[in-house]
Amino acid sequence: MAKRDTTRQLTLKQQTAVDLLVLGKSDREVAEMLGVARQTVTLWRNCDDNFRRLLQLRRQEIWGCHVERLRQLVGKAVDVLADDLRQQDDRRLRQSAAVHILKCVGLYGADLQPEEKRHSYVDLPDWKLENLLKQFWKEEPPLLRGTLPETGQEQRGPSA
pLDDT tens for the chain, 160 residues: list them.
455 555 568 999 999 999 999 999 999 999 999 999 999 999 999 999 999 999 999 999 888 888 888 788 878 887 888 888 787 888 888 888 888 888 877 777 777 777 665 555 566 677 777 777 776 666 554 555 554 555 555 555 554 4
pLDDT at 89: 85
Domain 6-104 classification at class level = mainly alpha
Q: How far apart are CA 155 and CA 160, in angstroms?
A: 7
What b/e string do you get for 127-149 counting C-beta neighbours within 10 Å, with b at 16 or more?
A: eeebbeeeeeeeeeeeeeeeeee
Q: How far apart are CA 152 and CA 2, in angstroms?
A: 81
What distance separates the 2 farthest-apart alpha carbons in the chain? Answer: 90
Q: How far apart are CA 43 and CA 45, in angstroms?
A: 5
What does the CA dihedral 152, 157, 158, 160 come to, rounded to 10 degrees? -40
Break the chain into its structural domains and give their ranges: 6-104
User: Are the C-beta atoms of 51 and 14 separated by less than 8 Å?
Assistant: yes
- Going from the C-alpha of 83 to that of each of 55, 96, 149, the distances in angstroms are 42, 12, 59
The single-letter DSSP state of residue 131 is: H
pLDDT at 160: 44
The values of phi and psi at residue 147, to 5°, are -115, 160
pLDDT at 45: 95
Measure the CA angle with vertex 140, ends 139 and 144; round to 5°.
155
Q: Say what the pTM is.
A: 0.44
pLDDT at 97: 83
pLDDT at 141: 47
